Amino acid sequence: MAITVVGSVAFDSIETPAGRRERCLGGAATYFSLAASFFCDVRVIAVVGEDFGAAEEAVFKTHKIDTRGIERAAGKSFFWEGSYLDNLNEAKTHTTDLNVFAAFEPKIPEAYRDSEFLFLANIDPVLQRRVRDAMPGVKLVAGDTMNYWIKDHRPALLEVLKGLDILLINDTETRMLAGNSNLVQAARGVLALGPRALVVKHGEYGATLFHGAASVSELAGQQVSELASQRKGQGTNCFRSPALPLEVVVDPTGAGDSFAGGFFGYLASQPEQTPAAFRRAMFYGSVMGSFAVERFGTERLQKLTRQEIDDRFTQFRELTHLD
């Protein structure tokens, strides 16, 4: 199974209480790809500048990530500079230089067209929609967005939501998108906009999967494609994955994208996307997010092994297991 992901590949300069790093390899598509690469084949669509060299290319290649969709353009790559000095849960942005990303026109390599899974990372919803429409044969589509698109590009975003199976956003974005401060009511509001399932990421407190079927146990054996039809009139239900309380958080950048990569990568690795697979996927998402924040940028994801991932999965299971 293969995932095609469209999103940013960037350089980040990051300052946290643990120190500072200049021009780390970053971007949502990078974190997502690395995290998902431990579970399935990953193919990236992005644009980079002339500052993206052999060393950066090697990070993808080492993880067998297909980079044929990474376009090289004249100029510099997307650059972001931010800090988390006062609050590890919220980045303070100092610089955003879109550079070559400003004119990004996603091009889908022919070799990507048989992908069964598509992830639309946080970019302009107009581009998300274009890529989604260009890949009508995919089995499952997930996506992310952010407050900027929710506030100022709502009509375009609503079009994207209609074509999504799974939306992954945080608490604040969920409330903002639905215009409702109660998380459960807001989740129901978001589900009514199109997505069959909503994953709300709570940062250090884990994440919650909301869907429309009558109860989680009643979903056993059903495919995600059946969830939407069950939703009508049956309320909203949920599943929560914890986050491991972490003693050391070096750099929160990319935690949400790494969650998405672990979540969607695990789902794509399964023969069927059953509710049980969704539950395990939620745990793998939490696991990948917990690794990402242990080092600056993608350092930890680059060095990770599948054995470490499965060991931590076992730890997470034990963290909330009753009997």
Q: Classify strands 10-16 and 19-26 as parallel, antiparallel or unpaired.
A: antiparallel
**Quick count: other Cβ atoms within 10 Å of Cβ 53?**
9
Cα–Cα distance measured from residue 126 to residue 134, given in angstroms and rounded to the nearest whole number: 12
- Minimum distance of a second copy from residue 302's CB (angstroms): 24
**Following DSSP, what letter does each residue of 26-55 receive, concatenated?**
E-HHHHHHHHHTTTSEEEEEEEE-TT--HH
Query: Which residues contribute to the site for a second copy (CB under 8 A)?
Result: 182-185, 187, 202, 204-206, 208, 210, 215-217, 238-242, 245-249, 276, 279-280, 283, 317-323
Specify the DSSP element, H or E, that contains 97: strand 92-97
- Minimum distance of a second copy from residue 245's CB (angstroms): 5
Nearer to a second copy, 32 or 210 (CB): 210
Rounded to whole angstroms, what are the CA distances from 203 to 30, 51, 72, 193?
19, 32, 34, 24
How many Cα atoms sit within 13 Å of 100 on the Cβ side?
A: 21
Nearer to a second copy, 62 or 182 (CB): 182
- Minimum distance of a second copy from residue 147's CB (angstroms): 19
Nearer to a second copy, 134 or 216 (CB): 216
- Minimum distance of a second copy from residue 210's CB (angstroms): 8
- Minimum distance of a second copy from residue 28's CB (angstroms): 25
Nearer to a second copy, 78 or 313 (CB): 313
Nearer to a second copy, 157 or 198 (CB): 198
What are residue 241's DSSP bridge partners?
207
